[in-house]
Amino acid sequence: MKKIVLGMVLIVAVLLGGESEEALKAYNVGDYKKAVELYKKAVKKGDVDAQYGLGFMYEEGKGVKRDYKKARELYKEAAEQGSLEAQNNLGAMYSDGRGVKRNYKKAAEFYKKSANQGDAAAQFNLGVMYYLGRGVKRNYKKAAELFQKSAKQGNIEAQYNLGNMYVNGRGVKQNRMKAYQYWMKAAKMGHMNAQRNLDVLCKQSPWVCK
């Protein structure tokens, strides 16, 4: 299983009106300073999207000096209001130990909250935790189930990892055809490791690739 770097979710959500909407527009054209100013105004009003957006900017150091602790605080505020993106990103910060002491159990808890709301990134990240046994008891079957949910939403890392699990029969019944199908989906999206695995699989079991 390839070790996956648990990445942050980009700001792509459709935001509500007011400062948050204007902040997102400024962010998308590269005016990070203006975006920060607008997000800060909205945060004072308790705007959940602004809490998440400003937290992301502190995390990335865009328009402000990078500050993981501040990012975590803002993500926490947004997560408490139900932001699935903030919950996922907060989980990643606990997993990586950025802005807070590394705590896999906490990371898994936040990933679960987001995954239960259907967030593909959180489903994948929680699947990794179950696969590695970090913050939760190792459970390959549960990992496969979460990867499948994420893969259905187009997550290429989940598709790649599912291919690995099917070819090895880990958490699922061994099935080279399914491994081929998931690797093919990931490869079509530019996943190089999936393409390499396909090349090997087709040499070993050419019948699968016909």
**According to DSSP H, which parts of the chain are helical?**
19-28, 32-44, 48-60, 68-80, 84-96, 104-115, 120-132, 140-152, 156-168, 176-188, 192-204
| Residue owning tokens 């999936």 | 194
Q: Taking the chain (210 residues) in consecutive chunks of 10 residues, what is each chunk's mean pLDDT? A: 41 55 93 96 95 97 97 97 97 96 98 97 98 98 98 97 96 96 96 95 89
Complete domains list, the chain, with CATH: 139-210 (1.25.40.10)
The dihedral over CA atoms of 52, 56, 58, 59, expressed in degrees to the nearest 10, equals 130
> Can you tell me the distance from the alpha carbon of 51 to that of 39, in angstroms, rounded to the nearest whole number?
7
